[in-house]
Chains A and B, each alone.
Chain A
Amino acid sequence: MKALLSFYLVVRRDPLLSVCAIFLITLIVLAAWGVEHTGYAATQISSASLQEPSRTHWFGTDIFGRDLFTRTLYGARFSLLIAAVATAISLFVGVSYGMISGYVGGRVDNVMMRLIEILYALPTLILVIVLVATLEAPMTQLMQGLGWTAIPPRFVLLFVFIGLTEWLTMARIIRGQVLVLRQQAYIQASFALGQSHLQILWRHLLPNLSGIILVYLTLTLPAVMLDESFLSFLGLGVQAPYASWGTLVSEAAGLINPIHSYWWMLLFPGGLMALTLLALNFLGDGLRDALDPRSCGRQ
């Protein structure tokens, strides 16, 4: 709580960070509620294909005449959602797994790290193919039974898949840091003073890991979005008429040719993605300063 407050103060004080925060909040609001209010349906095909940006179509239209502004916002929904899921998994599973492995050490560490190697070496593609083939039908039934029709079942499977793979490198990096930190005098001192292992992990190790956790999280976010667009390209992720920023960018890249440049198709979704990542990055740096036990806010 204290960290959040101090983060808020850091953001308030720095104009750049305030702009980043306002940008992200606006984007989330637009993605959540704006898609239905642009005047176009996100999946509506029309005859006005590949039009340049104009007053009627702010971002132009794509090859099927769909309004690109609506589709970009529509894609933001999925991209932001998958980024949030990946961050959460990387944070909770990856960090706690790595901390336990490094802190306990010995045989436990050995087994936990070998498990990571096995998961890491399994080819992601075949994993996704089998996952989709075996689980799509039961998942569809289950979700229809629960009345969830807004999200296609395949998206949920994509989340499961990202959950399986996205925390592995984070766990390894955290484990490496803990190997060093646990040898430090203050850890031994707090153990000698009778603090439990859990307290040591939570109160002493975690604050010292916050810097590297945030740095690696900002590396995970773009990687997840690219992974998603690669899987979608192979027909295993987001399928038309659904959209994500990744699929919009790869659709645009497929249309690049020397005669016509449909620049708006690459610029708007790609640019929005870059701006989002940039904003998250600067906020991550601000959060690092706020969380760091050794610095009091920003110098």
Chain B
Amino acid sequence: MSAIIFRRLLAAIPVLFIIVSLTFVLMHNAPGSPFSTERHIPAPIMAELEKKYHLHGSFWRQYGDYLGDLVHGDLGLSTQYRNRTVNEIIAQSLPVSMVLGSLAYSFALFAGITLGGLAAVRHHKAGDRWLMFAALLGISIPNFVLALLFIRVIAIDLALLPVAGWGSLDQLILPALCLSVPFVASITRLTRGGLLEVLRLDFVRTARAKGLSETAVLFRHALKVAILPVIGYSGPAIAGVLTGSIVVETIFGIPGIGPFFVNSVLNRDPFMTCGVVLVFGLFLILCNLVADILYFVVDRRVTMQ
């Protein structure tokens, strides 16, 4: 087991290398330059700028310089937020997003699995159809509409929670809730779908025949098999939610990493983009590894190679 994990972690290095290289190539080929402004910049100043940010010379020279820096753990300088290193920006913003994201996803898992279980038990009844309707709304309503609605109703009309900001616990609730809604909806549907497949199987009948309560059958026996799609879905989803959301973080004024994913690309900030992509890739690989291990732990019929 530990050998497999070790091998997977080793395989992460080439994967990350390919991800960063492809991003670098894409950024290099995107139209526009990080230094283009309305004003004309004289050639000597441009040359100095490019030199300072390690963006001078041929593509291979720039790429080689960047890889050299990366090996030393230096993610480079941001061209947009002048004089700040990418390391510094990520170190400040990533923990914020991780706190918010982990809170949101824990809630989503709890609520989604519970609601999915309830819906599966009430299959083809009104309760199931209403829950599925609500879940569908949760997936289809765009996040920005939902956030504005929450602020309007909960923060302004009812004045229960602060409108925006970061730092205290009550400021955490509304954005976390908002972030979790689409995930709650997806997990509910996946859990329900998985359970509907499983609840007809022989081992569930056996468990019922043994006289176990319906809750015990559902949560101790059926769910263990039915949960596999949720695990598969959660790998990429957790990687995404821990690295922030531009919409929620912008609306609620949270200093997280989410906006950098979009803004760094729009600003043609090559090192910032590569930096956040590297962070996301790392999370993705780790989360998928954990998901694969969980497949094995939850369902022993899965073999690990």
A-B contact pairs, 18 of them (CB 8 A): A114-B11, A120-B284, A125-B266, A129-B31, A130-B30, A133-B30, A168-B236, A176-B228, A176-B232, A176-B291, A179-B295, A211-B197, A212-B193, A222-B136, A250-B142, A253-B142, A253-B144, A278-B133
**In the assembled complex, A180 has its CB within 8 A of some CB on chain B:** yes
Are B229 and A173 touching (Cβ within 8 A)? yes
Q: A281: which B residues are within 8 A, CB to CB?
A: 132, 136
Contact with A along B229-241 (1 / 0, CB 8 A): 1011101100000
**Number of A-B residue pairs with CB-CB distance less than 8 Å in the complex they form:** 152
**In the assembled complex, B305 has its CB within 8 A of some CB on chain A:** yes
Are B273 and A126 touching (Cβ within 8 A)? yes
Please pick, from A123, A134, A176, A277, the residue contacting B23 in the complex, using a CB distance under 8 A: A123
Are A215 and B193 touching (Cβ within 8 A)? yes
Chain A binding site: helix, strand, loop or mixed by DSSP?
helix
CA distance A120 to B282 in the complex (A): 12
Chain B binding site: helix, strand, loop or mixed by DSSP?
helix
Within B3-31, which residues are at the interface with A (CB < 8 Å)? 11, 15, 18-19, 22-23, 26-27, 29-31
Which of B37-45, B75-83, B296-304 is found at the contact surface with chain A?
Answer: B296-304
Please pick, from A123, A184, A278, the residue contacting B136 in the complex, using a CB distance under 8 A: A278
The smallest beta-carbon distance between B254 and chain A, in angstroms, is 19
Q: B30: which A residues are within 8 A, CB to CB?
A: 126, 129-130, 133
User: What are the nearest 9 A-B pairs in CB distance?
Assistant: A215-B193, A121-B281, A176-B232, A173-B232, A222-B140, A183-B301, A222-B139, A125-B265, A133-B31
Closest to B274 in A: A123
CA distance A162 to B159 in the complex (A): 41
Are A117 and B295 touching (Cβ within 8 A)? no
**In the assembled complex, B186 has its CB within 8 A of some CB on chain A:** yes
Are A123 and B229 touching (Cβ within 8 A)? no
Please pick, from B139, B194, B261, B280, the residue contacting A223 in the complex, using a CB distance under 8 A: B139
Q: B295: which A residues are within 8 A, CB to CB?
A: 176, 179-180
Are B229 and A169 touching (Cβ within 8 A)? no
Q: A121: which B residues are within 8 A, CB to CB?
A: 19, 277, 280-281, 284
The smallest beta-carbon distance between B110 and chain A, in angstroms, is 19
CA distance A133 to B137 in the complex (A): 35
Are B303 and A183 touching (Cβ within 8 A)? yes
CA distance A53 to B186 in the complex (A): 35
**In the assembled complex, A229 has its CB within 8 A of some CB on chain B:** yes
| Contact-residue bracket for chain A | 35 or more
Closest to A16 in B: B129
Residue among B133, B225, B265 with the highest chain A CB neighbour number at 10 A: B265
Which of A104-112, A145-153, A196-204 is found at the contact surface with chain B?
Answer: A104-112
Residue among B18, B140, B229 with the highest chain A CB neighbour number at 10 A: B140
Contact with A along B70-104 (1 / 0, CB 8 A): 00000000000000000000000000000000000
CA distance A246 to B157 in the complex (A): 28
CA distance A256 to B197 in the complex (A): 43
The smallest beta-carbon distance between B201 and chain A, in angstroms, is 9
**In the assembled complex, B118 has its CB within 8 A of some CB on chain A:** no
**In the assembled complex, A1 has its CB within 8 A of some CB on chain B:** no
**In the assembled complex, A218 has its CB within 8 A of some CB on chain B:** yes
Within A93-115, which residues are at the interface with B (CB < 8 Å)? 105-107, 109-110, 113-114
Within A165-209, which residues are at the interface with B (CB < 8 Å)? 168-169, 172-173, 175-177, 179-180, 183-184
CA distance A123 to B278 in the complex (A): 10
Are B281 and A176 touching (Cβ within 8 A)? no
**In the assembled complex, A294 has its CB within 8 A of some CB on chain B:** yes
Are B189 and A215 touching (Cβ within 8 A)? yes
CA distance A193 to B29 in the complex (A): 55
Contact with B along A199-240 (1 / 0, CB 8 A): 000000000000110111011001101100100001000000
Are A127 and B302 touching (Cβ within 8 A)? no
Please pick, from B132, B190, B228, the residue contacting A180 in the complex, using a CB distance under 8 A: B228
Q: A296: which B residues are within 8 A, CB to CB?
A: none
Are B273 and A113 touching (Cβ within 8 A)? no
Please pick, from B15, B232, B302, the residue contacting A118 in the complex, using a CB distance under 8 A: B15
CA distance A114 to B265 in the complex (A): 24
Are B142 and A249 touching (Cβ within 8 A)? yes
**In the assembled complex, B180 has its CB within 8 A of some CB on chain A:** no
Q: B231: which A residues are within 8 A, CB to CB?
A: 176
Are A274 and B280 touching (Cβ within 8 A)? no
- With contacts A125-B265, A249-B142 known, what are 10 further pairs, Cβ within 8 A? A109-B305, A114-B11, A122-B277, A172-B236, A183-B301, A222-B140, A226-B140, A234-B266, A274-B140, A281-B132
**In the assembled complex, B124 has its CB within 8 A of some CB on chain A:** yes
